[in-house]
Amino acid sequence: MTASVEAEPYPFGFDLTTTALLIIDMQRDFVEPGGFGETLGNDVSLLRRVIPPLREVLDAARAAGLLVIHTREGHLPDLSDCPPAKLNRGEPSLRIGDPGPKGRILIRGEYGHDIIDELRPLPDEIVIDKPGKGSFYATGLQDLLETNGITSLVVTGVTTEVCVHTTVREANDRGYECLVLSDCVGSYFPEFQDAGLHMISAQGGIFGWTAPAKHFLEALA
Ligand code: C5J
């Protein structure tokens, strides 16, 4: 079945059988009060506001039979997959691998690294563990999309200007059509949220399309 979403810069057409919902890094350490993100002084409510619309989108995508893919950013316990260029960023007192409020920060298997309860993956849904900001780098995402015949991605998650942007840019270079749901992606910085979304749809949709969840839900109904 084909459908069309009212979007910027023009309607986004998609086929349900070749489209996947991608949910990026909705992990406790980024989104929950008391997590790593808040410890750094960020206001997590700016990220948490994506949870209700994203939950609706997830339910609708599941009901429509869309392929659902969740990602988690994180590293091996020995940090062998975390280059110094990443490890040495951020607050010196709280870096990847250090003990954080919800376990070792961004380490696979730790409580804070996992996806929030509200958006917990179903047992048969795909969870991609990624060491980078982008969802393609050092993961099997491209193979997975090819195997499933996916050509379009509906992109959600956090944070807009970091992991969402990196993923959408990589996806666009690889030939995927991306619709970013504007109220289902979040940033700790309101100015980055606005600019990040505009950068995607500007110049005739240089990286893809943007639309609120409502428009996507209407297209699925
Ligand atoms: C960050 C992400 N911000 N998921 N990760 O480090 O955007």
pLDDT category of residue 211 using cuts at 50, 70 and 90: very high
Nearest CA residue ID for atom 5, ligand 1: 163
pLDDT category of residue 101 using cuts at 50, 70 and 90: confident
The answer, yes or no, to whether any atom of ligand 1 lies below 6 A from the CB of 29, is no
Active-site residue (options: 25, 29, 114, 183) = 25
Which atom of ligand 1 lies closest to the CA of 162?
A: 7
Is the predicted pLDDT of residue 93 greater than 80, yes or no? no
Which pLDDT score is estimated for 90?
79
Which pLDDT score is estimated for 94?
84
- Specify whether 184 is catalytic: no
Mean pLDDT calculated for residue range 181-198:
98
pLDDT tens track for 27-70: 999 999 988 888 888 999 999 999 999 999 999 999 999 999 99
pTM: 0.98
**How far are the Cα atoms of 10, 11, 138, 146, 164 from residue 178, in angstroms, in the given order?**
13, 12, 20, 15, 11
